[in-house]
Amino acid sequence: MSNRIWNVSLLLLAVAFLALLAGFASSVLRTRELAGRLEAPKAAGPSPLRIALISQELDNPFWRSVEEGARASAARYGMEIEYSGPLRIDAGEQTRLLAKSIAEGFDALLVQGVDDPAYAALIDKAADEGIPVVTIDADEPDSRRIAYVGTDNKRAGEEMGRLVVRTVGESGGIGVLLGSEAINQRLRLEGFRGVLERYPKLSVADVRISNISRLQAAQQAEAMLRENPGLRAIVGFSSLDGLGIAEAVQREQASSTVSVFAFDDLENTRQAIRQSRIEATIVQKPYSMGWEAVDVVRSYLAGEKPPELRLTDTAVLDKASLEAGNAEGGVSSDVGGNSDAGGNSDTGGNSDAGENSNTDGHEDAEAGGTGR
């Protein structure tokens, strides 16, 4: 009886091993097939490689800039980009679109991480099927994505902290608005707190969520000002927060005592900086994110091993740099990368992307970026 059990066990192990071997072989063959198509994208016969780009929000200016960069980069290699995303920010819809793209057999996927185990499982499923996945703007580090392209959000938060300290000094309370509970927003707050903790008399007095809405940012900032008298500054970590905060500060007649700081490069944000209603904004590079993400896919399919992290630059845009005519912001950030899009579910009359496209090269195509 024991010999029979032993034989059955060996048989089951052998079957399981063969199944794993078959899956691995299938993945290798698919990668070789894609690499062959990449080497001769214009040759007669093979169809161009198809890359799905799934945004956080379809018509968000930040994500449209990512799309422009991805399309410009893909054009160099004869690849095709199919762009999609929820009409309004909806992580569940992003998950559905990811599952749909895997089922449709795209050759590669560019997606935003949503910090969800089910979403990470889908990325792993894509990897099992030989479909490389690159995360943009927000990472999904516990998945088998091949790389992350975007901001180092914690260091971006640290840069904001240093900017606030330079402006308001080493004492007082600071209010913070986050666009959402997304991982990139949380990392910014973590970096920001880390800087302020070095100054015993400087603290984060209040943290609220704007739901990436200019209207809600204004409402939350008004409540913050009323409930926390004596605030020295309010910081917004998504693209519409700064504009909403500036409106609230003006309505509450606190502009002489409360400094406003923003994220991203909306034209209305620039105008508010020129009018001294916003002190400064930290600018991202969404066009570069799209461009670099496609380049990561190309190198991977060519058999190279791209770096796991490809961090895009940020810069500080303030009144001095605007007056100097420096579209990049004038003050180069030591952040090393910037990954938040922040989303834009309520444009509040502002849909400016704040950058120009240039398919001949991504460096000239970006005036700093606009995001969430």
Determine the Cα–Cα distance for residues 332 and 314; give it in Å rounded to an integer.
7
Asked if 265 and 367 count as a contact pair (C-beta separation under 8 A), the reply is yes
Asked if 91 and 97 count as a contact pair (C-beta separation under 8 A), the reply is no
* Domains recognised in the chain with CATH numbers: 29-151+286-312 (3.40.50.2300)
pLDDT digits (tens, 9 = 90+) for 282-304: 999 999 999 999 999 999 999 99
The mean pLDDT of 265-291, rounded to a whole number, is 97
In this prediction, residue 3 has a pLDDT band, given cuts at 50, 70 and 90, of low
List, in order, residues 6 or more apart from 134 with CB less than 8 Å away. 108, 109, 110, 111, 145, 146, 147, 148, 149, 293, 296, 297
Read off φ and ψ for residue 304, nearest 5 degrees. Answer: -85, 165
In this prediction, residue 23 has a pLDDT band, given cuts at 50, 70 and 90, of low
Report pLDDT for 354.
37
The mean pLDDT of 308-330, rounded to a whole number, is 85
pLDDT digits (tens, 9 = 90+) for 223-259: 999 999 999 999 999 999 999 999 999 999 988 999 9
Sheet containing strand 50-54, strands side by side: 80-84, 50-54, 108-111, 133-136, 147-150, 309-311
Output the CA torsion sign for 167, 168, 171, 176: negative
What are the DSSP E strand ranges found in the chain? 50-54, 80-84, 108-111, 133-136, 147-150, 172-178, 202-209, 231-236, 259-263, 280-283, 309-311, 315-318, 330-332
Which is more confident, 6 or 46?
A: 46
What is the reported pTM? 0.78
Asked if 150 and 312 count as a contact pair (C-beta separation under 8 A), the reply is yes
